[in-house]
Amino acid sequence: MANWYLQNGKDSDVVVSSRVRLVRNLNGFKFLSKCSKEEQEKILEKVKEIVPSLGYGLKYIEMEDLDDVTKLSLVEKHLISPEFVMKNNAKKAILLNQEENICIMLNEDDHIKLQVFGSGQELENLMNLVVEIDEKLGEILEYSYSEKFGYLATSPINIGTGMKASVIVHLPALTLTGNLAKVLRIVNNLGMSIRGLYGEGTQNQGDMYQISNNQTLGITEKEIIANVKNITEKIIEQERTARKFLGKNQVELEDRVYRAFGVLSYASKLSSEECKKLLSDVKLGTDLGIIKELDDNKVKKLELYTKSGNLQKYIGKTLDGYEREIKRAEVIKQIVKE
């Protein structure tokens, strides 16, 4: 079976993926910002020795054993954070399973950042999985916990449940109809965070946004999931309404998505930024059934294997910037013709 990021799930026309994560720290150790290298190593050793009894097919991998392309590919899949990669002064590792739907970062900002992932809108199922793994870990490791505040963390925004639920959504129609700014304001006013996945400007991010909860203290895990799910369902409704509005001018819509498909399919070289913008329109056209030459599976492959790190993993060699632009166009042609 294909990894979760190559699959489609519930409401995948709008919701690209879901993630639920828990932040935990070990009792008896200082917070990471105060930890010496020796203490950081002890944290890794403590977790490493329990991996076999944890299950889930998890493997312990030290970050210093990974090459730069592999690290970049993991960042592009959203399995690890860019900040985690950049922290050169920390002893760090990950626990990763073969399906890559479970990735636990060790010694990022906190001792343990437990993450589970799924395609489409999967928040409730992911919450059940992450709680199950957390309970297994908690039986073996002693967490830093306060009766008053809940789970303790380096940052005050993670104290309490330590849970953050997030979804990545694709909102091209709201952008094209000029309604995106209004929707973003509403989401932020409801106590949620919404940010562009690839930067602040909508032109640079392929119309991808991440929605997540802000509050972790004084609220239960189920309430967090319910709140994010509720907001997500409203966003889905607004985006689908905007897509119907665009469909009223079918010729313009078809022209836009097929122009993007044409450039994507026949270009001799493509930059990463241009590819993101083209893929946004191509995904919209495929989801609406306009582009018949592609299916959901091919779109998922195009989205993954055109990213710089995963492109190089796909090709099997390290490429410079110009070589990547040429190979990106070649890989696109291969996937389209499959």
14 touches 170 (CB < 8 A):
yes
Residue 232: closest CA among 19, 20, 15, 22: 15
167 touches 228 (CB < 8 A):
yes
Q: Per residue in 303-325, pLDDT tens?
A: 999 999 999 999 999 999 999 99
How many domains are there within the chain? 2
**Same domain, yes or no, for 51 and 193?**
yes
- pTM of model > 0.85: yes
Domain interval for residue 22: 4-243
Q: Per residue in 16-37, pLDDT tens?
A: 999 999 999 999 999 998 999 9
Reported as a pLDDT band with limits 50, 70 and 90, residue 196 is confident
pLDDT for the residue numbered 132: 97
pLDDT for the residue numbered 170: 97
pLDDT for the residue numbered 203: 42
Reported as a pLDDT band with limits 50, 70 and 90, residue 184 is confident
Reported as a pLDDT band with limits 50, 70 and 90, residue 61 is very high
Q: Strands 59-62, 150-151: parallel, antiparallel or unpaired by DSSP?
A: unpaired
Q: Per residue in 35-51, pLDDT tens?
A: 999 999 999 999 999 99
User: Mean pLDDT, to the nearest integer, of 56-67?
Assistant: 96
pLDDT for the residue numbered 201: 42
**Same domain, yes or no, for 235 and 320?**
no
**Same domain, yes or no, for 221 and 128?**
yes
Distance CA 333, CA 313 (A): 17
Question: SS3 of 213, please?
Answer: strand
Q: Which residue has the higher pLDDT, 197 or 148?
A: 148
**Same domain, yes or no, for 141 and 9?**
yes
Q: Which of 221, 243, 265 is the last residue of a domain?
A: 243
pLDDT for the residue numbered 195: 86
Reported as a pLDDT band with limits 50, 70 and 90, residue 205 is low
Q: Which of 222, 243, 264 is the last residue of a domain?
A: 243
Expressed in percent and rounded to 5, the helix, strand and coil fractions of the chain are: 50, 15, 30
**CATH classification at residue 64:** 3.30.590.10
**Same domain, yes or no, for 137 and 261?**
no
Question: SS3 of 320, please?
Answer: coil
Q: What is the helix (H) or strand (E) element at residue 21, kind and residue range?
A: strand 15-24
- Does residue 178 carry a pLDDT above 70? yes
**Tokens 């954070």 sit at which residue?**
81
User: Mean pLDDT, to the nearest integer, of 43-65?
Assistant: 96
